[in-house]
């Protein structure tokens, strides 16, 4: 059964691939699985039909027969469990790869998201100027630790896994800030992720959606 995932009708990042449907597209491409996309507007995301799929009114969602999932981490994990290519067979290596998925989502991504909050959502607040350096320090601390663990390896634990997929995508959000370049090993790690053919296919597919919306003027 071909799954259907939801994505923004018009991505706020203008096709930079930062929206979380990108993770799901990437995972499906790594697994060599076809998928369909249902585009949703911000209005439609607040409607009961979408809220029945995603209680928080967000994207991505994943529908496959009777199964409906939300949360990019859970979706990527499901894909990785169903298909070869994203999680090692060895039980311990598999558990470690899953640990990296959680680390990406729970430990590395939260301070990175704070940067978006302080810059964009709270950018006009009187405290934003004081808060920004604190947030950046927290990010740097995490990046130092991550970089130390990665060392000169290509991937976090042996072969590329869903843990790397989630980590690379979480780190990508830092690219425009230039902070990633302070950590050359991590910048190279992200570049390796972006160079994967599966990443490129997923990126092109989400960019095509944005370009088409631009063309329509929607």
Ligand X SMILES: N[C@@H](CCC(=O)N[C@@H](CS)C(=O)NCC(=O)O)C(=O)O
Min dist CB 12 to ligand X, Å, is 8
19 binding ligand X? (CB under 6 A)? yes
Nearer to ligand X, 60 or 193 (CB): 60
20 binding ligand X? (CB under 6 A)? yes
Min dist CB 74 to ligand X, Å, is 8
43: tokens are 């209005």
Q: Taking the CB of residue 121, how many other CB atoms lie within 10 A of it? A: 11
Min dist CB 206 to ligand X, Å, is 11
With CB under 6 A as the contact rule, which of the stretches 52-60, 140-148, 184-192, 205-213 interacts with ligand X?
52-60
Give how many residues touch ligand X by CB under 6 A.
9
63 binding ligand X? (CB under 6 A)? no
113 SS3 class:
helix
- Which residues from 140-169 bind ligand X, rule CB under 6 A? none
Phi/psi of residue 20, nearest 5 degrees: -75, -10
Say what angle helices 109-116 and 128-150 make with each other, to 10 degrees. 150
Min dist CB 196 to ligand X, Å, is 20
Helices (H), the chain: 21-30, 42-45, 48-53, 72-82, 91-102, 109-116, 128-150, 162-172, 184-194, 197-216
- Which residues from 69-128 bind ligand X, rule CB under 6 A? 71-73
Min dist CB 19 to ligand X, Å, is 4
Rounded to whole angstroms, the Cα distance separating 162 from 27 reads 7
Q: Taking the CB of residue 2, how many other CB atoms lie within 10 A of it? A: 10
**Minimal CB distance to ligand X: which residue?**
58
58 binding ligand X? (CB under 6 A)? yes
Residues near ligand X (CB under 6 A): 19-20, 57-60, 71-73
């Amino acid at each position: 059964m071909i799954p259907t995932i939801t994505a923004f009708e018009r991505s706020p990042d203008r096709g930079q691939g930062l929206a979380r449907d990108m993770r799901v597209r990437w995972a499906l491409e790594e697994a060599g699985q076809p998928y369909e996309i249902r585009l949703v507007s911000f209005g439609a995301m607040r409607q009961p039909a979408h809220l029945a799929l995603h209680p928080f009114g967000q994207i991505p969602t994943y529908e496959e027969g009777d199964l409906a999932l939300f949360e990019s981490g859970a979706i990527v994990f499901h894909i990785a469990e169903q298909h070869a290519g994203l999680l090692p067979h060895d039980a311990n290596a598999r558990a470690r790869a899953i640990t990296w998925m959680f680390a990406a989502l729970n430990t590395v991504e939260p301070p990175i998201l704070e940067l978006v909050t302080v810059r964009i959502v709270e950018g006009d607040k009187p405290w934003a100027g004081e808060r920004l350096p604190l947030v950046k320090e927290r990010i740097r601390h995490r990046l130092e630790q991550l970089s130390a663990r990665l060392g000169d390896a290509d991937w976090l634990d042996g072969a590329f896994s869903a843990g790397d997929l989630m980590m690379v995508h979480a780190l990508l959000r830092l690219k425009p800030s230039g902070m990633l370049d302070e950590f050359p090993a991590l910048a190279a790690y992200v570049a390796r992720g972006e160079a994967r053919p599966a990443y490129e296919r997923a990126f092109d597919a989400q960019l095509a959606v944005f370009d088409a919306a631009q063309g329509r003027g929607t």
